[in-house]
Structures are given as C-alpha cells and as structure tokens.
Amino acid sequence: MLKSADKIRALGLAVIETENQAIAALTNRINDAFVEACEFMLQCEGRIVVIGMGKSGHIGSKIAATLASTGSPAFFVHPGEASHGDLGMITPKDMVLALSNSGETEEILLILPLIKRLGVPLISLTGNSYSTLAKAATINIDVSVEKEACPLGLAPTSSTTAALVMGDALAIALLEAKGFSAEDFARSHPGGRLGRRLLLLVQDIMHTGDEMPIVPITATLRDALLEMTRKGLGMTTIVNQGLDIAGIFTDGDLRRALDKQLDIHNTIITEVMTTEYKRIDADCLAIEALSIMQSDQITVLLVVEKQQTLTGVLHIHDLLRARVI
C-alpha cells in the first residue's frame, strides 16, 4: 500500500512539475506580439469575443469571464454555434480572441473567412505558430508547450494551463493599463463579498424612523427598558428636541443600574445614561462601521449628522445580515 501511495504522489508531483515548466516557458512570450495584442484590446470599442472548441473552449470561457470582470467587456461564443447563427453576435466594433492548441480546429477555420469579412482584429493563442489560424490572425501569441502532463501525451493538460495563464496575463495587463480599481471591480461584483465591502454604505442598512430606539430626556428608566424591548437592539438613545443626542443607554448600563438597586419607575434616564458614544456618518462604508465596532468592542453605532443629530442606528447584526462580516 505504501509503494502505491508513493507512486501516486510521484505522479501528482510530475504533473505539477511539467505544468510549472510550461508556465515558466511563457515568460519569453511576453514580447512585442503580447504588447500589440493588448493595444488592440485597449482600442476595442466593442467587446472581445472569445472562441474555442473542446478544452480550449472551457479555457476560453474562463478567459472571457476574467476579461469581463476586470473592465474589458467580453463574452464567449462556441465556434460550432457561431457557424449556425451566433456569428451575428460579432459587430464591426468588436474583436475576436481565438484559442486552438493545434491552430487547425475545423470549427474555427470554417468561420475564419466570415471573421475576416467583418474586418475585426483577430488575436489567436495557439501551440503552433505555423498553423492556419496563427497565419490568419492579426496577431498570434505562442502558447506552445514542450509536452502535455498526461503520460500518454494526449489529454490537454499543460497546453490548456499555458493558454489559461496567458489569458490571465492579457486580462491583468489590460486591467492595469485601464487603471481599473478595486472599486471598479466591486461594481461588477455587487453580489460578492468584495462588492459588499466596497459599495455598501451605512445608510443602506441602518435603522431609521420608527425603527430607531428613542426616548426623551424626561423619560424614566422604565420607559427606556420598554423602548429597548420594543426595538430589540439592546439599547436606546436619549434625545433632546430635534433629535439631538443627549446620551445612550445599553444593556451594560442596565446591569450597572440594577446592581445599584435603583427604582426603575422614578429614576430619570439621564441619571444612568452614558454621554460618550461612538458615532458614524450615514455615507460611510459599512466596512468602516465594522472596523470601529471591532476596534472598540461594541455592537452599536449611532448614525449622526452635524455631529449630534440622530439619523439612524446601526447594530452589528445589521452587518451580519448584509454579509459584510
């Protein structure tokens, strides 16, 4: 069993080493052709249409998704479907990025004349710089590999890895050239964690209006407890007229008040409230609110304007529900 396990590990390591060598060989391919391809992509007024068959198609689909999410509008078209109507998705303002290890993929060669007729730039990623596709392309980028990681030399392994890495290199070079920022990335990923962290504002998730726990400065401790129970945030604000904040009363303040055996019916809330509290502006990022809560080990922030007027209340549970945490 041990020999078998050692052999399996050795096979796995051999695959990784072979693919590592294939990736390392790409270093010399970041040349003038790579730069020219990037320039065509930067100048593209439409979209980058990625095509590929089989395993190259899967890689092409991923490259298209990476381009689209990093500021270069792109989509994948199956070349077999392209010859049956989908080629109409390509407009004169677009460009084509074609993937084929052999450079002789029949389905791609079939639509080459139509691509040429449209007059759009054609960038190819091939493993054969002398292939039909490479020669027909406006620019060909060499992604050839010495050998596949498959011991039979048949299953696309190193070749698909090399094409994927080159596609990533193109996408990230374009990202940098366009000045694409983390905020731009977040706008194209609003449902992702990064999007929520970089786009979600305090005002988007805070409690406002009747949802805010509020009692006047004339309220008793009993009034405050009832308001805390009704609103369920473990605290209440104490305000003057015009919603100017006088203080805050929390669960912790309640425990301290009970330890003193105070009369909840006659004790005025201003006698036991806390006048120091953490605040934040409504237009701040929710992630900033989380940072304050974590730093000060608190669960509630008061949202204020003009330094003292209450406009909302933010609880850590609101951040949890919004999946900021």
Sheet of strand 279-280: strand arrangement: 279-280, 300-305, 309-315
Element (H, E) at 172: helix 158-178
pLDDT tens string 183-217: 655 555 555 555 566 678 899 999 999 999 999 99
pLDDT tens string 259-273: 888 888 889 999 999
- The token pair that represents 155 in the structure block: 């299953």
Question: Which range among 4-8, 152-156, 253-257, 266-270 has the greatest average pLDDT?
Answer: 266-270
**Residue 152: predicted pLDDT:** 78
**Residue 198: predicted pLDDT:** 67
What mean pLDDT comes out for the span 4-13?
Answer: 87
- Which residues is 7 bridged to in the sheet? none
pLDDT tens string 104-113: 999 999 989 8
Residues 61 and 35 sit within 8 Å (Cβ to Cβ): no
Domains within the chain, CATH numbers bracketed:
2-180 (3.40.50.10490), 202-321 (3.10.580.10)
Residue 300, SS3 per DSSP:
strand
Element (H, E) at 310: strand 309-315
**Residue 287: predicted pLDDT:** 86
pLDDT tens string 278-303: 999 999 888 889 999 999 999 999 99
Residues 280 and 289 sit within 8 Å (Cβ to Cβ): yes
Nearest CA among 132, 131, 112 for reference residue 120: 112
Nearby residues of 221 by Cβ (< 8 Å), 6 or more positions away: 257, 262, 263, 264, 265, 267, 268, 269, 272
pLDDT tens string 122-180: 999 999 999 999 999 999 999 999 999 887 776 889 999 999 999 999 999 998 887 76
